Structure 1
Amino acid sequence: MRRYARTLVAVALATTVVSGTAGWVAGNAQQAVTGPPPGTASWRADRLLGRELPDPERDTPAATARFFAGLTAAQQQELAVRHPLVVGNLDGAPVELRYRANALALRASHDPAFARLAADPDRRFLAFDPRGRGQVAEVFGDLATARRVSVIVPGADIDATTFDRTTDVYGTPAGMAESLYARTGPGTAVIAWAGYTTPVGLGLDAARGTLAEAGAERLTRFTDGLAAAGVPVTAVFCHSYGSVVCGLAAPRLRVADLVVLGSPGMRADSVADLRTGARVWAAKDPGDWIGKVPHVEFAGLGHGPDPASPSFGARRVPAEDAEGHTGYFAPGTRSLRTFAAIARGAYDRPAPAPAPGTATATGYPPSSSARPTMMPPGPRR
């Protein structure tokens, strides 16, 4: 009888997710972008080197890394010029070569939606896929010298056109990554990864795990590719629906720390259910609207328990001053200070809070009205 009662409650709550009470009512259905990058057919047919090139779909990132290690610098560059969209998105290829290939692909794009990404030649992109709404990954810091590398995984309504918008900056992957890198500094790097098809609005896509499943595959291959290229990722920060992606990818992510913030759930009942060796952290601001979303999973709707609840078993990140769903990386917040400590590997001794009126990582006092809506551009190399 009790099990039956719990099932009825779960059904009622899951129905709430899409009925409007929680606000998940408007959204456009999305088709996940999957498969190898554009231009793969020409890449597979290329016999420039007198042999087959690594297959972007079937070969592992480790096999791809071994292939490029056997080429001369001139041969690598020739491939990037001939096939920029493939090389720029090829997991396991050398990092600097991917930067070069994506710069070429962005300059060759005639889509005005991507013009802003190509405007600054100093930006470093590890991925650029123009299919669908566009996918992109940008690096803040120097991957060649970084001892610790973090990846930001965003939630709904993020694509190549909203990746670094100037409104609601800390709700964008570029804004979150730049803010974290400004706090962590030399010896670290942060990657803003908008490498999967995100839900649009708060409709059925946001309540289901279909897009997250595809995203988890892409995230896993992306991090495996970096490790194969000699740049292992040490921490992943997952915002909102991005935490669903990370929950599904968790058993395959070889990272030290997995951090979720503003999470609707991770498709797991507890930390143990994630089957990961990583330390799992969770942050949720009391004023975050995500708290009104029922944390259940039933008949494919909803994403399970709240990772920030004590029963889930995650380490709690203080976030009382994060101010809503997109304020977790805002300068001066306790959540950002703790995130930075995790990113640096100093998770047991987070950075102290700045004294009132002192400068933050952005150079502005926490209460200063002079602080801009967009962070001053930080170093990207």
Structure 2
Amino acid sequence: MRRFRRTLAAVAFAVAMVGGTAGWASADAQTAITGPPPGTDAWRAEGLPDPAAGTPAQVNRFFAGLSAERRDALARRHPLVVGNLDGAPVALRYAANRRALRADGRFPRLLSPGRQILAFDPRGRGQVAEVYGDLGRAAHVAVVVPGSDIDASTYDRAKDPYGTPAGMARSLRGETGPDTAVIAWAGYTTPVGIGIDAATGSLAEAGAERLVRLTDGLDAVGAPDPAVFCHSYGSVVCGLAAPRLDAADLVALASPGMHADSVAELRTGARVWAARDATDWIGNIPNVRFLGLGHGADPTGADFGARPVPATTAHGHTGYFAPGTDSLRAFAAITEGTAR
């Protein structure tokens, strides 16, 4: 009975505290964005392959069979479909998403010269993915999966830049060589603030499906298997995606848990790493799972079995990608395949 009371107290504490990138804030319940891209009905009406049914490999074969003129015409007529189709040619997706962003008008920063927007979904709070580097020629690829409070409007901001996927990706790209591409992936509906969404895996389950499709799409266009960096609630997404995720490395940082009690339970062929600095408030979160609340074991715990990532010079919940930190240097080595 005493153990049961301790578990209930821990779960109550987890509900009150488990958050994400922004930390302490009130919470609003979110509805996950799922299903095929917006504009799919018009796409289907032309007799084009159903985005909800085709795999990224099938999408890639479809576009490979089209002339350049036909591909460009589809991107002009259906930018939201082409721009979000994993497996479609990368440069074509960039062009389609520039068109979609201009039509939407809410996110002018994403239209700045040189930005390579791999995905843009305006539904809900908005989702976006961006590539730093040359994905078509990269020898090494990394994907950054963020935690709570991230959407198209908070994806890239000057305040707390290393707590955003754009800031994390830019920093990692700067620490690696020119043959590396880094994808900042805000491609799922994240929790807002602290509440049930952050303390459960419902949004992470929907996000895991989208993350698996992203890595399948990278494989379809011939990109190397990525190192996937999973921050805070993003590590819950990665944990649920792990058995099907086409990745070389899986890195949980600032994690509240991955819905697994060990690396073996993740059922992944990727190397699994974990990092948490001593000043990160996530260390105060009880690592429990009970009645659907909480996210399980601490990935940095010895019993979990992940490879440790040094984080002695990182600070706080969002300092792991800050320039000059040992964690950023380790992330670069993992991305480039030189970490042991």
TM range (shorter): over 0.9
- Cα separation, partners in 2 of 1:291 and 1:20, compared to 1, 3 Å: closer
Query: Any conservation in 2 of the 1:216–1:249 contact (CA below 8 Å)?
Result: yes
User: What letter matches 2:90 in structure 1?
Assistant: V
Q: Does 1:102 align with 2:94?
A: no
- Residue of structure 1 aligned with 2:258, choices 266, 273, 295: 266
Give the 5 Å matches for 1:54-203.
54-110=49-105, 112=106, 114-118=107-111, 120-203=112-195
- Cα separation, partners in 2 of 1:305 and 1:122, compared to 1, 3 Å: same
CA drift of 1:135 comes to: 0.3
Deviations 1:38-96 (CA, angstroms, capped at 9, x unpaired): 100000001xxxxx322111111111111111111111101000000000001111111
2:297 aligned partner? 305
CA drift of 1:148 comes to: 1.0
1:209 aligned partner? 201
Q: Secondary structure at the match of 1:248?
A: helix
- Comparing 226-235 with 210-219, which one deviates more in the overlay? 226-235
Give the 5 Å matches for 1:246-325.
246-325=238-317
Superposition CA RMSD, Å: 1.5
User: What letter matches 1:115 in structure 2?
Assistant: P
Cα separation, 1, equivalents of 2:109 and 2:337: 34
User: What letter matches 2:156 in structure 1?
Assistant: D
Cα separation, 2, equivalents of 1:280 and 1:20: 26
Query: Any conservation in 2 of the 1:61–1:92 contact (CA below 8 Å)?
Result: yes
- Alignment length, in residue pairs? 337
Deviations 1:329-367 (CA, angstroms, capped at 9, x unpaired): 00000000000000011112xxxxxxxxxxxxxxxxxxx
Cα separation, 1, equivalents of 2:149 and 2:301: 26
CA drift of 1:20 comes to: 6.0
CA drift of 1:33 comes to: 0.6
Cα separation, 2, equivalents of 1:130 and 1:44: 20
Deviations 1:174-217 (CA, angstroms, capped at 9, x unpaired): 00000000000211100000000000001111001000000000
- Cα separation, partners in 2 of 1:265 and 1:20, compared to 1, 3 Å: closer
Query: Any conservation in 1 of the 2:18–2:194 contact (CA below 8 Å)?
Result: no
Cα separation, 1, equivalents of 2:17 and 2:313: 28
User: What letter matches 2:132 in structure 1?
Assistant: F
- Cα separation, partners in 2 of 1:74 and 1:19, compared to 1, 3 Å: closer
1:341 aligned partner? 333
CA drift of 1:19 comes to: 4.3
Unaligned runs of 5+ in 2: none
User: What letter matches 1:89 in structure 2?
Assistant: N
Larger RCO (alpha carbons 8 Å, 6+ apart): 2
CA drift of 1:159 comes to: 0.4
User: What letter matches 2:40 in structure 1?
Assistant: T
1:17 aligned partner? 14
* Misfit runs of 4+, over 3 Å: 4-8, 19-25
2:320 aligned partner? 328
CA drift of 1:25 comes to: 7.3
Query: Any conservation in 1 of the 2:33–2:123 contact (CA below 8 Å)?
Result: yes
Query: Any conservation in 1 of the 2:142–2:183 contact (CA below 8 Å)?
Result: yes
Query: Any conservation in 2 of the 1:247–1:267 contact (CA below 8 Å)?
Result: yes
Instruction: Name the % identity.
Output: 67
Cα separation, 1, equivalents of 2:17 and 2:104: 40
Higher Cα radius of gyration: 1
TM-score under structure 1 normalisation? 0.86
Cα separation, 2, equivalents of 1:173 and 1:11: 34
Cα separation, 2, equivalents of 1:243 and 1:178: 20
Q: Secondary structure at the match of 2:315?
A: coil
Q: Secondary structure at the match of 1:280?
A: strand
